[in-house]
Chain A
Amino acid sequence: MTDAAEAGPFDGMLKPAIDDDSRPFWEACDRGELRIQRCAACGVRRMPPRPLCPHCRSFETAWDVMSGRATVWSVLVAHPPLLPAYGDQAPYNVVVVALDDDPSIRLVGNVVAAGDAPLDSIDPHTVEIGDAVTVAFRRLADDVALPVWVPA
């Protein structure tokens, strides 16, 4: 079976090395869901995921499905020198978004025209802090769908 991204527009882009802590996040993304880890004892969400709740020290966790609505918290515009797969799409934006359901949870992403659109599918200088965005997923590999963001 070939890698879904092979020879595609996203060939050569970096993919997560999925581990015990991150597996539920990436498995949810693979199903088209944005899920965030929550402490099953005290209810506080945390990102990045980890085994122990730093508030109440419970190992019990749950994974909440989020609405996928978010607000741009910060943005940069990357220029070369970059890894070739990224340099080919530069200049492009990288954002940190805060989730509308729980603004304490932030994620790194890109604002793009659609889930399967390249990094430079939007003029990076039009992306501003405070912009409303909605999650989409970019298929990078058989086991990896990367959450990205489209203008709301």
Chain B
Amino acid sequence: MRDATAIVGIGNTEYAKALDRPEKVLALEAILAALDDAGIDPADVDGLASYTMEGTEEIEIARNLGCRAVTWFGQVGYGGGAGCGVVGNAAMAVASGQCDVAVAWRSRKRGAAASRPWAGVRDRVGGNQQWSRPWGLLRPVDEIAMLTRRYLHEYGGSREHLCNVAMAARGHANRNPAATMHAKPMTRDDYFAARWISEPLCLFDNCLETDGAGAVVIVRADRARDCRTRPAYVHSWAQSIPLDHQTMTNFFTDDPLRGPAWDCAAKLWAGADVGPDDVDVAQLYDAFSPLVLLSLEGYGFCGRGEAPGFTEDGGIALGGRLPVNTSGGGMSEAYVHGFNLIIEAVRQVRGTSTAQVPDAEVSLVTSGEGVPTSALLLVRR
């Protein structure tokens, strides 16, 4: 299905700590914006793709948009690992003819206190969580802090390199008026003065808490050429659950620092005419800064243990070896389960990013590392 489909519409709400409209309304706003961007009538939408964690059901979207007949719909699980898989599955449905106009979206009011990780947590924790939560390993940040400490022990690297990730994202956000942190520059001193959350991770190693929604529209390549925007062709996409993987608390495999990104990357590159060296710009899922280091290695931009060095000397900032998270990403633009990263990957192919990589032709976006994941390779034609 190489280049058989394309993203022809992108849309998002504003991003903020707290928005007054419900998630359903935010979802509809983002989807309408994406359809308007593409120049496609909402009635023509016949495919709907979302996350299992999405709070607005397909039927709500369909009956609000006035979709004549939805003939394909599907969801992908595992939270932040889902995003590229949601778009990829929609592209597959379009390519195979199950639908002609697919919309993928994510809407989230994470800033609300009721959606915090332990809202509604009970005295007893079951399933996989019984092997971690009772000992006070409570939050996603703790799960990643555990892997990070081991990474730094095995490979060297230091908080300076985590700071490089946070600083690159913030610098890009400072160029992006839509980014939550647009007007808030950050210095290295700011980073090192921040309070601990879960050592070795501090506040600025964490993503934002954001209310907002994003959506994309996917059609076949022949139809894409008639849309009003420059198509971002879906060149390759992949998902992965590696051997013996346990989501988030992936401490029990032979090699916990080799996460789902590695198998996802192998599948992604096997389906592509290009490789890591051809990628012009990457949006690497950044719920936490160390995930960017793991993803740089997993997707083959450097060898294992080499990601800290890769971030040095502006390596992942605009103008560097590989500009990463050019909208500000989850850490400085918005945290919408990675959907804003997908939208930014499209902007780069169109040439409309606020941190535009000149003549970007090959644009990678990845979903969460450390959970069953996915990735999407978009190209300009």
Instruction: Give the one of B131, B134, B195, B198 with max A CB within 10 A.
Output: B134
Bound-complex Cα distance A34 to B309 (A):
41
| Other-chain contact of B196, A54, A79, A96, A148 (Cβ < 8 Å) | A79
Across the interface, which residues of B come within 8 angstroms of A82, CB to CB? 136, 138-139
Q: How far is the CB of B120 from chain A (nearest CB, A)?
A: 12
Question: Is residue B381 contacting chain A, with contact meaning CB distance below 8 A?
Answer: no
Q: Which residues of B contact A15 (CB under 8 A)?
A: 123-125, 134
Minimum CB distance partner of B124 in chain A: A17
CB contact between B198 and one of A17, A18, A78, A140 (< 8 Å): that residue: A78
Chain B 236-265 interface residues, beta-carbon cutoff 8 Å to A? 243-244, 246, 249, 251-252, 254
Q: How far is the CA of A151 from the CA of B246 in the complex (A)?
A: 28
Binds A, one of B9-17, B52-60, B140-148, B164-172: B140-148
Residues of B within 8 A of A22 (CB): 130
CB-CB under 8 A from B121, the residues of chain A are 14, 83
CB contacts (< 8 Å) of A108 on chain B: these are 131-132, 135, 137, 249, 251
Q: A16-B124, A79-B195, A109-B135 are in contact. Are A104 and B149 (CB under 8 A)?
A: no
Bound Cα distance A110, B56 (Å): 40
Q: Please, which residues of chain B bring their CB within 8 A of the CB of A79? A: 195-199
The 4 closest A-B pairs by CB, nearest first: A17-B126, A16-B130, A77-B199, A74-B150
Interface string of B337-354 (1 = CB under 8 A from A): 000000000000000000
Instruction: For A140, list chain B residues within 8 Å (CB).
Output: 134
> Is there an interface contact between A110 and B136, defined as CB atoms closer than 8 Å?
yes
- Residue B128 CB within 8 A of the other chain: yes
Q: What are 25 A-B pairs at a CB distance below 8 A? A: A13-B134, A14-B121, A14-B125, A14-B133, A16-B124, A17-B126, A48-B252, A54-B244, A74-B147, A74-B251, A75-B146, A75-B149, A76-B142, A76-B198, A76-B199, A77-B199, A78-B137, A79-B196, A82-B136, A83-B138, A91-B199, A94-B142, A96-B251, A108-B249, A129-B150
B21 in the interface (beta carbon within 8 A): no
Is the CB–CB distance between A94 and B135 below 8 Å? yes
Asked if A70 is an interface residue, CB under 8 A from chain B, the answer is no
Chain A, 72-118, CB within 8 A of any chain B CB: 73-79, 82-83, 86, 89, 91-92, 94, 96, 104, 106-110
Chain A residues within 8 Å of B127, by CB? 17, 19
Instruction: Give the distance to chain B from A119, nearest Cβ to Cβ, in Å.
Output: 6
In the complex, what distance in Å separates the CA atom of A91 from the CA atom of B197?
10
**Complex CA–CA separation, A54 to B135 (angstroms):** 27
What's the minimum C-beta distance from B65 to chain A, rounded to whole angstroms?
38
Q: Contacts A13-B134, A79-B197 known; A74 to B126 CB distance under 8 Å?
A: no
CB distance from B294 to the nearest CB of A (A): 14
B46 to chain A, nearest CB (A): 40
The distance from the CB of B152 to the nearest CB of chain A, in whole angstroms, is: 10
Q: Please measure, in the bound complex, the distance between the C-alpha atom of A89 and the C-alpha atom of B146, giving whole angstroms.
A: 19
Contact assessment for A76 and B118 in the assembled complex, using a CB-CB cutoff below 8 Å:
no
Decide if A76 touches B134 in the complex (CB within 8 Å).
no
Identify which of B133, B135, B146, B196 gathers the most chain A CB atoms within 10 Å of its CB: B135
Tell me if B77 is interfacial: C-beta within 8 Å of chain A.
Answer: no
A42, B291: Cα distance in complex, Å: 36
Question: B200 interface residue, CB < 8 Å from A?
Answer: yes
Q: How far is the CA of A82 from the CA of B195 in the complex (A)?
A: 14
The distance in angstroms between the C-alpha atoms of A15 and B125, with both chains bound, is 6
Q: Decide: A96 near B125, CB < 8 A? Known: A16-B130, A78-B136.
A: no
| Residues in B whose Cβ lies below 8 Å from that of A77 | 196, 198-199
* Docked CA distance A27–B244 (Å): 25
Tell me, rounded to whole Å, the shortest Cβ–Cβ distance linking A135 to chain B. Answer: 13
A65 CB within 8 Å of chain B: no
CB proximity to B under 8 Å, residues A28-81: 47-48, 54, 73-79
A146–B149 contact, CB under 8 A? no
* Contact A146 B134, CB 8 Å, known A74-B147, A75-B149, A106-B252: yes
B215 shortest CB reach to chain A, Å: 32
Cα separation A148 to B127 with both chains bound (whole Å): 20
Chain B 146-164 interface residues, beta-carbon cutoff 8 Å to A: 146-147, 149-150, 153
| Bound form: Cα–Cα A96–B246 in Å | 15
Write out the residue numbers on chain A whose beta carbons fall within 8 Å of the beta carbon of B244: 54
Q: Inside 8 A of B198's CB, which chain A residues have their CB? A: 76-79
